[in-house]
């Protein structure tokens, strides 16, 4: 995932963290639950990820572990989109 895409993903994740102070998402390993990502927020984030990245998260990947940190989300999204052609990834 390019640096630009990582920044876009960070901004998307930030919008789903109601308790995150502005500019506080500095590490991919910060626990998102600590900043307000609950199960409803994770479902909303999932829907937005699937829409924006034209990706479908298989049922077995929709777990608390996948949405634990921005790093775990990024890694799972990269895994899901790895088989797609580059042109589709850059949309």
pLDDT digits (tens, 9 = 90+) for 10-25: 889 988 988 887 767 6
20/79 Cα distance (integer angstroms): 27
- Does 73 or 86 have the greater pLDDT score? 73
Spell out the residues 6+ positions from residue 82 whose beta carbon is closer than 8 angstroms to its own: none
Examine the pLDDT at 56 and tell me if it is beyond 80: yes
73/79 Cα distance (integer angstroms): 10
């Amino acid at each position: 995932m390019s640096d630009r895409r990582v920044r876009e993903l960070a901004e998307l994740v930030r919008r789903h963290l109601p308790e995150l102070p502005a500019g506080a998402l500095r590490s991919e390993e910060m626990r998102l639950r600590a900043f307000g990502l609950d199960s409803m927020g994770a479902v909303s984030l999932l829907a937005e990820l699937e829409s924006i990245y034209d990706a479908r998260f298989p049922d077995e990947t929709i777990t608390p572990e996948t949405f634990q940190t921005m790093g775990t989300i990024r890694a799972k999204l990269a895994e899901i989109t790895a088989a797609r052609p580059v042109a589709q990834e850059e949309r």
